[in-house]
Structure 1
Amino acid sequence: MRAELTQGLIDFLKASPTPFHATATLAQRLEAAGYQPLDERQPWQCEPGGRYYVTRNDSSLIAFKAGTRSPLEGGLRLVGAHTDSPCLRVKPQPEMQRHGFLQLGVEVYGGALLAPWFDRDLSLAGRVTFRRDGRVESQLIDFQAPIAVIPNLAIHLNREANQGWAINAQNELPPILAQIAGAEPYDFRALLADQLSREHELTADIILDFELSLYDTQPAAVVGLHGDFIAGARLDNLLSCYAGLQALLAADDEQSCVLVCTDHEEVGSTSCCGADGPFLEQTLERAFAAGEDLVRITQRSLLISADNAHGLHPNYPDKHDGNHGPKLNAGPVIKVNSNQRYATSSETAGFFRHLCLENEVPMQSFVTRSDMGCGSTIGPITASRLGVPTVDIGLPTFAMHSIRELAGSQDLEHLVKVLTAFYNSAELA
C-alpha cells in the first residue's frame, strides 16, 4: 500500500509541472473513476449518487459526490488543497540576447527560495493561447526536455557567496536557453508554435499569449539510507491534492464529499479560481442547495484544509517552539494560530484528533514561535467566505518553497488513511 501510494505520488508530480497540468491530471483520474465533467456555462443536473467534477481557468478543480445520506442531515465532508507552487514564470516579452546567449526574462511567482534554482536542469510548461483558422484556442504544452539553466557565478568571482548574498531577481535569474550568433532578434513565440506542432500536431496562425513556468526536470524520488523520505518539486501542495484524490476515490457512498484544489494560494488566493473567489460557493449552490438550505448544510459540514507544515529541521531546531516541533514520518500536523492565520478551533482540532485516534493514525501539533511570523493557508479564507468550520492540517516537510522539497515516506499513507476515514465519517461532532 505504502509503495503503491508513493509511486502514484511520484507519477502525479511528474505529470503535473504546472497548476494547469495538475488540474488536467486530476480530471483524467477522476474520469477514469467514473466522475462526470460539468461545464459552468451549461445547466447542471446533478443526481443523487452522482459523481462530478468542474474546473475553472484550467487550473482549479472541485470534485464532489452526492451521498445516499442527505447533506441537510449529514452535511458535507470537504478537503481543500492548492494546485500552485512558487516558481519562475516567463514574462510576456521574454526574449533577452546578451553577450551571445539567448535568455528569458522571468518573474518570481510566490515566496520562492531562489538559491536552489541555480544549476538545475530546467524545462518549460504551461498554457498557450493561439489563433487557428480564425478561432481563439488554448492548449497545454510541456517541453519535458531540459532546455534551460541558470548557472551560478563561480566562487572565484563572488568570494562572499558562502556568507550569503541578496539575489537580484531581475538580473540574476534569467535562464540561458542557447548560445547564438549574430544579433537577429529571436522570436520566442515561434518556439511555442513549433512546440504546439510537435506535441499536439496543431498549426497556430499566431501565438496570442501564454502562461508558462520553468520547472526542474529531476523527477521526484524516494531517498535516504532506509528510504525514509520523498524528495521532489511541488510537494507543497500537490502532495495534499494527491492524498485528497486518493481518499475521495476510496470513500464509500453514504456521505456527500467534496475535494477542492484551487490555484493562486501562493499569491493570496484572490482570483476568479482561487479560494478567495466565488468558485466553491457557486459550485456548492449549484450542486447541493442555495440560500437557507446551504447555510444549514454548511453548519453541519467540516473542511479539512490540507497544506504542508514545517517539520523540525535537525540543523535549525531553534526555529521551532520547544513543544511544537513536528517530526517527519510521525503523522499529520494540526496547525494552530491564535491570530487566525490558521482556521483551527478547539472543536475542529478535537474532531481531527478523535478521527486519528479512532483510525490509529499518529498526529502532531504545530504552533509557530511567538517571536516569528506565521504563514497562512486556504483554511481561513474558505472559512470566512463560506462560514464552514475548518481545521488546518498538513504533513511535515523540509525546504518548503524550494525547487526540491522533502517529506516523510510514511506520512502519505497516514494522510490518505485519515482523509478517507473523514470522508466516511457518520458524525462530525
Structure 2
Amino acid sequence: MKIPKTALPPWEIAFEANVKHSRLLHLPEEILLLILQLADIPDLYMWRQVSFTFWRIYQSKYFRNFHRNGKWYYEIVREGLIGFEHDEETRKRAREQAYCDKCIAQRQDENILSHRWSQRYKTLYCSFCRKNHLRSCFSHKERQKEYVGRRCITWEGHFRVCPHETMSMSVLHEYVDRNGTTGKALGTYQKIVICRICEAVAGKLAGENIRISNNITAPKVSLLNAGPDYQGRPQVMFSLDWTLCVFEIPEDGGVTYPFLQQRLREFEKTYGDMLCPHLRLDRLLAPFDPHLCVCLGGDRRTGGVSPCDRNIDWVDNHHPARGCKRMNTARIPGIFLQQDHDYRVKHEVMCSAYCGNFSWTRKDRFVFLSRHTAGFIYADGGGMGYVNENNLMEPQSYGAKDDIEAKYALWCDDKTCKNGRKWKE
C-alpha cells in the first residue's frame, strides 16, 4: 500500500492550526520572549500549554527558575524555586482546564464532599490481601459486600498478556504456593506462561532470517525470586515481556511518520491489540516527535534539526526519547534509531497508568517493539505490593465500566476530563 506523503503527524497539524488562528505566533521570537517575561505566572503556564512555540521559548535559560531539572520536590522547596505548583491562581486555572463542567460542579458542591471523600480516601478490608485498601481499589459489586469475602480489583480481575492469553493474581499465587521460594536462590527465574500463537506468527514472519528470530521474544509471564521486603516478607517479582519485529527499514532509509503509522497498523492487524488498556496505538510514535528526537529529521515547527539541543537536557529524564537530542550526542538527523555508543539513547513510551514501558530498538535494518511490565507479589499470599499495579487489570474483568456510584468523583464519560475514563473502549 502506498503511503501518502501529504499526511502530517498530529503535532504538525496542531502547530499549523495555531499559526493559522493566532496572529501572535507570527511575531519574531525576540518579541514573544519579552511577552512571556512580562506575563503573570498563571498566563505563562497557560501559554506554555497551548503552543509549541511558547513551550520551546519556555525551555530557555530565562525561565530556569520554573524548571524542575530532575530535582526532587524537597530540593526545589529548599532552594526556594518558584514553580507553577506553588502559585494558587495557577493551580486554580489548571483545575478548571483539567476537569469538565460536571466534575467541577460536583467538586464545588458542599453536599457532595462527603461522597467524594468517601470514594477517594476511605478504606475497605480485602480478605485476600489481608489488609485495607482505598475504596477505589474495589469494584462497585465488591464494595457492597460484608467484611468477610470481599476482594479488591487485584483478585477480582485479570490482565492481558496478549490477545490470546490472560493472567490473574490467583493463578500467580497458585503457582508460587505450588513451587514456593524456600531454599531457592535469590534471582531464580521461571517462565510460567508463553503465548504459542504469537510465537508461531512471529516465527513464520521471521522465516530463516536469524537477525530477526534471534531478537524475538514471544509474550510471556515470568517469576523471579526477589527476596524479602523491608519488613521481611518474601517477595516474588512477576514480569510481562515481549519483543516483536515491526518492520525492515527501506533501502533508501526513508522512514517517515506516515510510514511508521502504516507499519504499526500492520503490526496490530498481525498480532491484535498488544498494548495495555490505556495506551492507544498512535501514542507509540510520541518518542519520534522532532522537538525531542532527530530520527525523522525536522518539521515545520522546528525547521532543520541539529544533532543536539542544549535545552533538552533539563527534561532529559522524563521525555520519551531519552538522550536523542542531548548535548554532545553524535547523532545524525534523519537516520532512524541510530545508536550512540557514548550516550544511552532510548525511545520509549510509559503508560500513563504506570502499567508498562514500550520501547523501540533497532538491530541492523530491522526495527523491534518491546514491552516490559513488572510488579511484586507477596509469596505468603498477600497480593500485590503497590496499588498502581491494579492498573494492569482489564477494566471489563472487574466491572469498572458499570461503577455508577463513583461517577464524577472518580470518573466521567468525558475523555478530555481529568476524571475521564483512561482505558480504551
* TM-score normalized by the length of structure 1: 0.24
| Larger RCO (CA within 8 A; separation ≥ 6) | 1
Q: Which has the higher helix share?
A: 2
* TM-score normalized by the length of structure 2: 0.24
